[in-house]
Amino acid sequence: MKITLNPKLSSKTDLIVFPLFENEEAAKTVKQKTKLLIPEAALADFKNEIGNSLLVYTPTARLLLIALGKKQNFGAKNWRIAIHTAITNAQKLQAKSISLFLPSVNRAWVPNYLELTGFAVTHSAYQFNIYKQGNKTPAFEQIEIVIQNNKSYKTALNDGGMIGLATNQARDLANHPGNIMTPKHLAQHAITIAKKYKLNYKILGESEMMREKLGLILGVSRGSDEPPRFIILESGNQKQPPIVLIGKGLTFDSGGISIKPAEKMEEMKFDMAGGATVLGVMQAAAMLKLSSHLVAIIPAAENLVSGAALKPGDILVAHDKTSVEIINTDAEGRLVLADAISFAKKHYQPKLIIDYATLTGAVLVALGDEYTGFFANTKTYDKLINQASLATAENLWPLPLVSEYQDQLQSQVADLKNVGEKGLAGVITAALFLKHFVQNTPWIHLDIAGTASTMRPKKHLTVGATGWGVYLTLKFLRNL
């Protein structure tokens, strides 16, 4: 898909998209900007609430009015919804090219707004249909943004488009089924990115992981015939201490011997979405030539059942020598992350660790599927993270790393056990488990179990993997 800027509407367009605020004089504004006449009667059907739209046939063009709702509620979220409404309607109409008018916003927001536009258009046009025969919705070819042709606007729009592209690649990784997206395949994709953008990379196989004593991830992987991979990418200026990004890479999570119910188990192909996000961030950072020193670590494995599988009661020894009693083999994410965290601390002396993980069902209970659970052992980055979240409409909400629940992880026979009590702050005890390995290194933990994928279409999202966190992280890194 090509995104272009054009100061005035081109004559060759399949669909004109015109967003309007509530109380705006629709017919007058549209006439002024497009010279098109809307029959008054048509407007009677246009209810200006965010997510609504109305298709109008004028004598010379197809015009799609997009409701923006109240002006005072306008921001990144509503703009993403408006764009998503426009793109999904255009796809239904089989429009190949569209022209999008931009509502005027506060001057200070303009560059940010164009970046967001580039991102949202790319994100919303995404389709995952490579496994379907025939009858595919045709891909969109071109979108023209009707706005003054200014160099900084163009850069912002292109940057957003590139971040959108990297996000869509991350979504592809997560949308692929578990039989295709194995740890090996995920590692191959990481190598492809590394080669394309000239990043350093290192992939540890099973025997190298044994040499490195990554006991927790090896334990998780034991029940699967697919060998695990420990994926490392590095970019940017290596003279500075790095920011280490760790992504949970469970290419399928059956729960292991503590097996999950059959219902919705297929959604556990998304359990490597954190790893996908981290690869998306590395790709976008490379495309935007970010100079920050970044290290990506993805512990990739499959959690299955077999005669060799990990059992409740088993004790594993972690990379940092902590002994862990396995109470529930389905709490495997924290195990693979713990080893990645210790490994990062030992080899990279990180300035900050950020982890992305579809870690707990409990975060869905606490925050639902629109907010990522945010934990941090420092307040240093709170402001920047919140700004990045607001600017990208990737929502997160702070949860407390409170020490009162640490006792829940005490084991009778080992240093730690891998789960707390059932139904008692499961999202927090998972974070506390990780904290044991992080200790005092500045750290942000993002529990994306609710936000990494969606099985129902949302106002701003198509079904499947969302790529949550790629844009937010890029925004954060660029403002650091």
Report the nearest approach of Zn ion to the CB of residue 255 (Å): 5
Q: How many CB atoms lie within 10 A of CB 121?
A: 25
Contact 312, 222 (CB under 8 A): no
Out of 320, 330, 355, 369, point to the residue binding Zn ion (CB under 5 A): 330
419 binds ligand BES (CB under 6 A): yes
Report the nearest approach of ligand BES to the CB of residue 273 (Å): 9
- Residue 271 known to bind ligand: yes
Please say if 171 is a catalytic residue. Answer: no
Report the nearest approach of ligand BES to the CB of residue 328 (Å): 4
333 binds Zn ion (CB under 5 A): yes
Return the range that interacts with ligand BES (CB under 6 A); candidates 101-109, 313-321, 352-360, 385-393. 352-360
- Which residues in the 237-296 window bind ligand BES by CB under 6 A? 253, 271
Out of 332, 339, 369, 394, point to the residue binding ligand BES (CB under 6 A): 332
Binding site partner of 361, from Zn ion, ligand BES, none, Cβ cut-off 5-8 A by kind: ligand BES
Among 274, 249, 254, which residue's Cα sits nearest to residue 264? 254
Out of 167, 358, 389, 473, point to the residue binding ligand BES (CB under 6 A): 358
Binding site partner of 406, from Zn ion, ligand BES, none, Cβ cut-off 5-8 A by kind: none
408 binds ligand BES (CB under 6 A): no
Return the range that interacts with Zn ion (CB under 5 A); candidates 24-32, 177-185, 323-331, 370-378. 323-331
Alpha carbons 341 and 355: distance in angstroms, whole number: 9
- State phi, psi for 302 to the nearest 5 degrees: -120, 135
Nearer to Zn ion, 139 or 365 (CB): 365
Report the nearest approach of ligand BES to the CB of residue 439 (Å): 22
Alpha carbons 41 and 20: distance in angstroms, whole number: 17
Contact 452, 360 (CB under 8 A): no
331 binds ligand BES (CB under 6 A): yes
253 binds Zn ion (CB under 5 A): yes
- Which residues in the 263-292 window bind Zn ion by CB under 5 A? 271
Please say if 334 is a catalytic residue. Answer: yes
Cβ-proximal residues to 195 (8 Å cutoff; 6+ apart), any chain: none
Binding site partner of 368, from Zn ion, ligand BES, none, Cβ cut-off 5-8 A by kind: none
Nearer to ligand BES, 244 or 272 (CB): 272
Catalytic residue among 334, 345, 417, 475: 334
- Residue 382 known to bind ligand: no
Q: How many CB atoms lie within 10 A of CB 346?
A: 11
333 binds ligand BES (CB under 6 A): yes
Report the nearest approach of ligand BES to the CB of residue 38 (Å): 45
Alpha carbons 288 and 166: distance in angstroms, whole number: 11
Q: What is the largest CA-CA distance in the chain?
A: 79
**Tokens 């993002």 -> residue:** 446
Catalytic residue among 154, 260, 459, 478: 260
Alpha carbons 66 and 38: distance in angstroms, whole number: 14
Report the nearest approach of ligand BES to the CB of residue 258 (Å): 7
Please state the residue numbers annotated as binding site.
248, 253, 271, 330, 332
List residues binding ligand BES (CB under 6 A).
253, 271, 328, 330-333, 358-362, 419, 426, 449
Residue numbers at the binding site for Zn ion (CB under 5 A): 250, 253, 271, 330, 332-333
Q: Which residues are catalytic?
A: 260, 334
